[in-house]
Structures are given as C-alpha cells and as structure tokens.
Amino acid sequence: MSKIITEGPAGYMPQSAPSMGVELAPTGKALLYGNIVEEEEAMRDAARAMLTKENPTIFPGPQVLWDWKEDVAAKAAALLELASEIPNCKIIPMPDYRPKYPKIDVKAEINPNHPNLTILDNKIKACIFVGVHCHYANLSLRMIRAGTDCYTIALCAYMGHEEAMASIRDLHAENITRFKEIVIEERNKLGIEWETTLPPENPSLQKEDNSSLSPADYGEYRSLIMTKKGEHVTDVE
C-alpha cells in the first residue's frame, strides 16, 4: 500500500491531504495513510501504534466531554474502557477551543493554535482525536503532521479526517468497543503484559474548588446561567 499521509515532520505549510488526492472514505470504510481500507485494517494499524509508540494519548473534545446528546455518555464510557487497555495511556481533554494567549499550559491541554507544542512537550508519538469538532480537528491534525512525528488517529462521528494517519468515521460506542477488543488482541499478539487500569490524573492540573463559584465568575457566559427577569426555574434535571 502506498502511504500518502504519514508521520512528519512534513515541514512548514505542508500540502493538505485533499490536495494530494486523499478522499474521505465512504460509509463502512476507513482511511489509513490516505488510502481507503476496511475499518478493521485501520483499527489494527492504529492499535499497534498506540501499543508500541511512546506516550500514547487520547484527546477527547467537547462532543464527548459534555453529555449533550443521547449516545454521548455511552461513547465516553467506552473511551475510558479503551484507555484502560492501552498501557500507560494518558488523557488530555480539549473542553475549550478558544485561543489562550499569551501562552497555554502544553502539559495540561491542547489548543488548535499550538497543538504541535503539546505533542512535542509531552513527547507524544501516537494520539487519538475523538469528539473534536471537524474544522478544529482538521486544522490541528495538519499542524501535528507538519511539525511532529506523531501518529494521529481520528475517531469521528461524521465523515472522518483526511489529515490523520488512521481515520474511522460514523463513530458510535460500539465502534470504540470494537477498537478496544482489537487493542487487546494486538496487545496479546505483541506479548505485552498489562493489568487493566484507568489512566492517572494529569499531575499538572490544578485542584479546583467550585464551592464558592458565583455567576460573576463565568464572565461573558454568566447570562447563560442566570434567570432572566420574570423567569422562574421550577424544575431541573
């Protein structure tokens, strides 16, 4: 198989995947190095990368971090199970894409303005993007390919991502569970011994105390949580 999209560094302003002829995979298929393949083939290659490359990391975005849709909680639970089967896997969440200047904490978060810095600083050689809005994922994946040698995997609820080394589309909880099963199979083939355990907490994250929060602490978003004049909330979930 001719590899079109591979680990970088591809250099400053590399060609985009579509400009090199990569097309999104049709329903039921996946992308692997820019080629349309069976979903299982892409999952097995991705599983081997997460099992053999240094500092495997999962980057969950807002679409799996917040319980906003019927199947999201099941996806999130399946992701934790997947992470628990990958030796020494870390999770760095992406709950907020807004630019963070003058700098970001690259050990604790990834941001589309500087995703390559987070990859480089954490020495991540294989990662999974999941639940990330497509326009941000495409931007970040291309920047990672441009400036790092990280193997990127995109688990997408929609049509997938040409810029990733492996891309699975139409993602549901059952796809993640199947990926987990493949990880276990490949781990056994490689003879890697591992006791299933959840990833450790990120040591660089500060402890939060939300007991004294007030609407004023939410800045421009305070109007979203404050009742309007004449409005009375009588029931909550």
Give 159-193 pLDDT, tens digit per residue.
999 999 999 999 999 999 999 999 999 999 999 99
Q: Tell me, what CATH number does 100's domain have?
A: 3.40.50.1220
Q: How many domains does the chain have?
A: 1
Asked, for residue 179, whether it belongs to a domain, the answer is yes
**What are the pLDDT digits (tens) for 98-117?**
777 667 788 888 877 788 88
Residue 21, class by beta-carbon neighbours within 10 Å (0-12 exposed, 13-18 middle, 19+ buried)? exposed
Q: What is the pTM of this model?
A: 0.83
In a domain, 222, yes or no: no
Contact 7, 18 (CB under 8 A): no
**Domain membership of residue 66 as a residue range:** 18-204
- Of 181, 139, 209, 136, the C-alpha closest to 39 is 181
Structure-token match 């993640």, residue found: 176
What are the tens digits of pLDDT across the range 123-134? Answer: 999 999 999 999
Is 236 a member of any domain? no
Q: Is residue 216 part of a domain?
A: no
Q: pLDDT per residue over 61-74, tens digit each? A: 999 998 888 899 99
